[in-house]
Chain A
């Protein structure tokens, strides 16, 4: 197991990333939080350099947490103080993955969380499954997720916490009314962008889906509404799926 101690502020400064530190206060403890999602990990110090940045006796480790249910994370973090530690696995350059550095007076941690984009992908995946098969099961979700880094269990738990997904009477799960509305909106957005890329920009094949997948998280609803008007309100995406 690798053990590191470091100061988040110094770490962020050394990275030259221009990140801003946020102050978080949870359970009466103050944390410095730096969101390092989307930052090229190459710009952060190498492992040896990290050791040079060490200051106190806290340690760095990684696990997943959902930023919006930070309390659970903090409870876990507190339980870890003085207890066993998870292995530090290092950061991966996942395009969508959310990462944050957190530091309290007790320890420093690198944690991954589910970003809004990932959550949108999860919703769109589940909407897609219910369109095709009707029945949504954890297994179905696992096999349909976009990114190999994704964890179906985590995704489902997160959506349940948000009230977007619920258990149905059998073994399956289904979108709540709110979940369905959100999922449909995201799916329509994706499909309108696909029509735009095909009809107006003449993109072809896989490129259409790939570009749309990235753009759907970054274009505002207004923008896509403008696109839809421009395209005379398309009824189907280039793959023949309905836009409702």
Chain B
């Protein structure tokens, strides 16, 4: 069983970011969001297609598959729960939140994040007001 790499998780979360806002996701948007080059987005999308997380249609927009959407939501929730933890428990300033959570989302196991969620009484929104869905 092959595991997802950190950058694959980042890509899935970036795609989910646009998907959540009901926007069509193009490679160029993902490149801009993650501040990476277009060729590396192209490489990454092809590896995510191979793994069955996304599908590319002929209009060069990226679609999450059911498996991809579930995975991306999991990663996004993880990111947001960590943001809540950083704000409520560690009193971290809002401007550093995203970056810190971005690093931490790869550090915490699913189990630890689940327990963080319990500790925080299952928050419904991240500090930026985005939903944490179950």
The CA-CA distance from A18 to B5 in the complex, in Å, is 11
Contact (A197, B112) CB under 8 Å given A43-B2, A218-B103, A218-B106:
yes
Residue from B5, B36, B106, B119 with most neighbouring chain A CB atoms (10 Å): B5
Nearest Cβ distance between residue A160 and chain B, in whole angstroms? 30
Tell whether, in the assembled complex, residue A18 and residue B43 are in contact, meaning their CB atoms are under 8 Å apart.
yes
Tell whether, in the assembled complex, residue A218 and residue B107 are in contact, meaning their CB atoms are under 8 Å apart.
yes
Tell whether, in the assembled complex, residue A13 and residue B5 are in contact, meaning their CB atoms are under 8 Å apart.
no
Neighbour of A17 across the interface among B36, B43, B92, CB < 8 A: B43
* Per-position binary interface string of chain B over residues 105-125, scored 1 when its CB falls under 8 Å from any chain A CB and 0 otherwise: 011110110011001000000
Tell whether, in the assembled complex, residue A211 and residue B5 are in contact, meaning their CB atoms are under 8 Å apart.
no
The CA-CA distance from A197 to B119 in the complex, in Å, is 11
Tell whether, in the assembled complex, residue A202 and residue B104 are in contact, meaning their CB atoms are under 8 Å apart.
no
Nearest Cβ distance between residue B53 and chain A, in whole angstroms? 13
- B11's nearest neighbour on chain A, judged by CB, is A18
**Of residues 86 to 134 in B, which have CB atoms within 8 Å of A's CB atoms?**
89-92, 100, 103-104, 106-109, 111-112, 115-116, 119
Contact (A226, B91) CB under 8 Å given A16-B47, A201-B116:
yes
Neighbour of A211 across the interface among B41, B112, B119, CB < 8 A: B112
Neighbour of A227 across the interface among B44, B90, B111, CB < 8 A: B90
Which candidate, A34-42, A122-130, A139-147, is the interface stretch facing chain B? A34-42
Whether B57 is near chain A, meaning CB under 8 Å from some CB there, is no
Nearest Cβ distance between residue A12 and chain B, in whole angstroms? 9
The CA-CA distance from A166 to B4 in the complex, in Å, is 40
Nearest Cβ distance between residue B21 and chain A, in whole angstroms? 24
- Sampled A-B contacts (30; CB under 8 Å): A16-B43, A16-B44, A16-B46, A16-B50, A17-B44, A18-B41, A18-B44, A18-B47, A38-B6, A39-B5, A40-B2, A40-B3, A40-B4, A43-B2, A43-B47, A201-B115, A201-B116, A202-B115, A211-B111, A214-B109, A215-B107, A215-B112, A218-B103, A218-B107, A223-B100, A223-B104, A226-B91, A226-B92, A227-B90, A230-B89
Which 3 pairs from chain A and chain B are nearest by CB?
A218-B107, A16-B47, A226-B90
